[in-house]
Structure formats: structure tokens, C-alpha cells
Chains A and B, each alone.
Chain A
Amino acid sequence: MKTKKARLITNAVTYGVLIALFIILTVMINNKSITRTLKGQLIPICSWIVMAVSLNLVVGISGELSLGHAGFMSIGAFSGIVISGWLLNGFGMEDTTLRLLLAIIAGGLIAGIFGALIGIPVLRLRGDYLAIVTLAFGEIIKNVMNCVYTSVEGTTLHFGFLNSALPGTLLLNGPMGAVKVKAISTFTAGFILVMVTLVIVLNLVNSRSGRAIMAARDNRIAAEAMGINITKYKMMAFVTAAALAGMAGALYGLSMATLVPTKFSFNESINVLVFVVLGGIGNIPGSIVAATALTILPETLRFLQNYRMLAYAILLILVMLLSNNPMVKNLWRRLIPGRKDNGEEALKA
């Protein structure tokens, strides 16, 4: 653990770099000097950053391996789409900013509620068992979303399970997912969501609750003997992460014209986990960098055509090997003085 001062500096640099990047990108968008591909990826990048940071709260800070994070994103995405469609069709709310805001908040709330429901049975388990059960829940969510039909008629929402005969305009069409979604997400909204996520996660980590979460991770027995209710704090991390994933989902879902439930499969959960592991478990700025790089990378590799995903995988292996190489670690340590304590551990191991 870094000292308080080093932590403050890291956080300040993280916020600063993100704000600077946002300003640069906004200027570039206004100048039209940004490539079309990159521009189209800005909102997904924001969503994946939020996903990676929130999963890092569960995996890194709370120390529980969750393999169903995409499930919460799915819940958030489809709730956001339904809420947005409901507000537009039922109440004629044309203001896209307000609609987006309400959709994101609703997506977060609903995903948070599901996080709590799933967390109650899941967090009784530990280690591998917890991972397997979260994986199962992710798949259950995907398959349930495959069967849900929703329509809006006037101001009423109709829900059907395996039953597509609903009155009014269809918002969710079972396995076809959401069709003809009005894409209302903006890069600014995505950036704000990233900042909100960072504030929530970083402030939580550096507070009484965050210390309790980490204490429960580091030494369960000692934490309990100090009067820390382990389940409560594991729940806190899990539900917060689920709510953030839901918000990311709403942002993502409302940036697409169509979205199918099978998009949020086990693969996506693993993808987010890759961001977290590559960026460093428990390392929040690392998650941001990894999520950004690994979202851009597959697109920039398009010139390789059929070999694209192969190249992606090989690059991933190389990055992993390099970042665990003692010589590279040593170089990092010399460049960044605050990382001395990592060196001590490497020597001990």
C-alpha cells in the first residue's frame, strides 16, 4: 500500500490526465481532425473504462473473483433503453440530455438492486465457488433477457416473458433485443460518467468503508475480530460495482442503434476481467489505461483482416510477459520513485 501522499498524487494525476484528454478530444471533434473510427469508439471506451474500474472494485479492492460482470451491464443497458423509450413515447420527453441522465440513473439503480439480490447468496461463498456462481448468474441474466419482451402503450409499460404479443410499440423484442434505439449517448456524458465512477471508487477506497473492505480481503479472521461485519462490506463493494456496471450499460446501450442480449455473454465478462488483470489488480488508473488500449487495439488491427484476433491475442500475451518481466519492473521503479515498496516485495518473493 502506498503512503497517503503518494496516493493523493496518483489520484490527482489520474483526474488531471483524464480531463486533459477530454479537452483535447473535444477540440479535435470540433475541428473534425479525429478519425471516424476513433470518434465512434469514444462512448464504448467510456463504458468499458467504467466496467473495468467497477470490476476492479470487486476483484482488486474486495478480493472476490466475479465472472458475471457483463450481466449487470446487460441489465443496465436494457433498463436504460426501456426507460428512455418509455419517457420518449409515453411522456414525449424530447430533451435527450435529461432522458439520458434518467436512463443512466435508472440503469444503475436496477442493476444495483439485482446486484444486492445476487450478492446475498453469492457472497456466502469464497474463492473459486464464488467465481463459478457469478459466472452462472451472468449466463442466467443473458438467457432471461433473451426471453423478455417490453412494449410501451401510452404511458404504460407492458412486459411479456416468452410472449411477444404485446400492445403498443415494442422496445425489447426478445432475442432480437432492442431495435431502432434512438442513440442519445454523448461523449461528454460518457466522460462525466467516468469521472463520477472514479470519484465514487477512489473516495470509497480512501474512507472508513474502503478500509473495512480491504481489511476483509487481507485477513478475514482479524477483520472479524476487530468488529468488522465482513458480509456487509463485501456486499457494499459488490452492489456498488453492479450499479456502476448498470450505468455503463445504459450509456453503452443508448449509443447503439440495435443491441442483442447475447452481446453481454461470458466473453464480455472475461474481456473486462482482462482489462482489470492487465491494468493491475487493485490498480484503478491501470484499469483505465488497459480498458482504453484494449478497446482501440482490435479496431486498429483491422488491416490484418482475418488475422486480427490472432494478433490481438499474441499482443496480449506479449504485454503480459513484458509487464511481469523483472527488468521492465525495475525500469518502471526508476522512472516512478513512488513504486519502491513493490520492489521490496519482488525481492522477498
Chain B
Amino acid sequence: MAIRERLSGNEAISFAIKQVNPDVMPAFPITPSTEIPQYVANYIANGEMDTDFIPVESEHSSMSATIGASAAGARALTATSSCGLALMWEELYVAASNRLPLALCLVNRALSGPININCDHSDSMGARDTGFIQIYAENNQEVYDNFIQAYRISEHKDVRLPIMICQDGFITSHAVENIELLEDDKVKNFVGEYNPENYLLNAEQPMAMGPYAVSNYYMETKMAQNTAMQNAKQVILDVGKEFGEMSGRNYGFFEEYRLEDADYAFVIIGSAAGTSKDAVDKLREEGMKVGLLKLRVFRPFPDIEIAKALSNCKAVAIMDRSEGFRSKGGPLGSEVKAALYDYAKNVTAFNLIYGLGGRDFTVEEAEGIYKELAGYVEEGKSFEEYRYIGLRGESYSVTRTGQKGSVNDIKSERV
């Protein structure tokens, strides 16, 4: 029988870590992820798990030591947020290119400056091209479930890539919600033992890791990583299905919420999907055909699947919780628009920025955006895109008027 509990996101992922009982966890504290190493250290101190914790002196060292442990043949992980992830930058690439299936528990927080401890996705979105698998969660239940699936995905022989399990800082990490936990033995059976093929401490077969590779070899290593990322798609689906059979909670690349017959939809990541679902329910009651696509897996990017799911929509709002500073929106916007351009050109897509540095995003704001999408399509009204939702003061935006916004119809102005 599943265990009913009330936990925060940080407690939930720490509990999952305890159940998985990996070998080595180096970590350095940073708000709002600090509780994770604290909980783990407590579990160890009380004999509830036998992971070795390394209290390193920086996040660069936490990822470096995680890489060392993983290369040696151990199941390893670390946790961090924001500037901690930024300090690891170089090492994220090393972990991925060395094909180490380690896990990183990321609690999403805005990057400095100004220094800000609250949620946005600028940290993990900045790391989107490092070669990590990235899986996001809407709430504490998903964080827990995602971590339990993490090593099954990362360690799969067709994948062997590091994995980042993301949750929204404070909103998810610190808010206590009801949760269903799995029994220890179920988790252990599901995750299984880690038995790497090649590792430093294999006395029979020494190995060397981290070579200097000249132009004759470098490009092939990148293609090998890319192939692994492509393979990860099927593995993520298989593991999600198997997890669903065990837990009753199914996972794929994304959740489609009332999307099937929707004319207007959001594409959104993380906790704000919950807020937006309330808006969807309310507008559905009013007779508007609205829905939502909550993206769970950002790396690998399920472009065809997203385009297919959105292909019957008249207009979508792609909601970015991080800036791209190309002056035209964020990373989720770029990638979803590219997918639509390739596979569903009929869908009009707008990109909006919300929730930077923990700025509230409300049900009313979400409703307003859905109504604007309808106004654009049904009444020929203009739509201000790239703007910041809930900004105090002036917002740079581009106003798009005219269906399918041909280049001549677009004017760029401050609104």
C-alpha cells in the first residue's frame, strides 16, 4: 500500500534519495536546495542510509567530486540551485561528455544579479545545452516520482547521460503538500543495483577517462552524445510507463491538460502549470475551449510530439520563466516555435515571459492571456508578445496584428 504523507518538495526528493540509497553525494549548500544535503546528512547520521556524503567547499567541487565518484563506479548525485549550477557550468559538460549517469537535484532559482533567491528557470535553461537530460516537475509528487525514475533513465545502456531533476524553488521545494510515497522495497526493486561496465576501480580492466581529443575525434564524441540523447526519448517513455504500472501515476514527455479539443493553449513548465490549470477549468466552465501542455522533459526536446499535441490549436502562448536576451523571448519560446515551424505551421504561437525572480503569476493573469489569444484569432485584435507578465512599469513588447502575422503586419513598439 502506498504511504500517504505531507512533505515539501525538498523533503520529497530527499526521501526518494534515501530510498534509492546511492553511493556518494558531494554537495555545497545554496538556497533553496540546502535542505536536500541537510536531510541526507541527517539520514546518514541516524543510520537510515549508507551513502557517503562529501561536504565539499564549492559547487564546482561538488560536481567535480560527483564526476570522480561516478567515474570510479559509484552511483553518485549532488544538489544545487542558481549560482551553484552556474559555478558547475564547465563540469556539466564534462559529466555529459564522459557519459556519466549521475543525478543532479536542481531547485530552480533565479541567477544573479541582482541576487535573488526565488524561483525562475534561468539556471537550468542556461544549462540546457550542456548534455544533461532535464526533467521538470509541477509539484512535490512529481519531484519524488521523477527522482525514482532518474537512474533508470540515466544508467540505461543506450543512454548513459547525466540527469537533472528540476523543481521550482520555494513554490515546490518549500511548500508542504499531500504526497503518496512508495514502499522502500518497491523503490529498490524498481531502481535496481548499479553495475557499470567500465569504471576506474575495475581491477581487471583499468580505464582512462577525460582525454585530450583532437579534431579527428571530437566531433564523433558529440554525435555519440546526441545519439544517446535521441535514445533517451524511448527510455524515458518506457521507464515512465513501467513506473505508472507500479504506482498508478503515468509519465511521458508532457502532460496534456484538456488539450484534445482546445483552440487556445499554454505551453508551460513547472509549478505555474497548476495555476494555469485553474484558469483552464474556469474558462472551460465559461465555454471557452482552452487547454494546456505542461512540458516535463525539456532535454531531450520532444519536438514532433509537442507539435502534434498542439496541431489543432488556433493559437498558443509559450510561457517562459527565464530570459533569453535575444530581445525576443525565452528559450522555451524558441524551441517550441521551431517545432511548430517544422511540423505545425498552421498554429500561431506567442512567447511571453512571467515569474522571473519569483514574481507571482496568478490565475487571473493566465485567464487574461487565454482571452487575448481568442481576441487575436476571433476578433482580429492585436497581441503584444515578448512582454513580461505582471511587470511594474513599462514592458518592451512587439505587437502582432493580422492572422499568421506576415512580416508586413508586424510593428515593433514599446507598449
B and A form one assembly: no
Q: Taking beta carbons and an 8 Å cutoff, which residues of B are in contact with A?
A: none
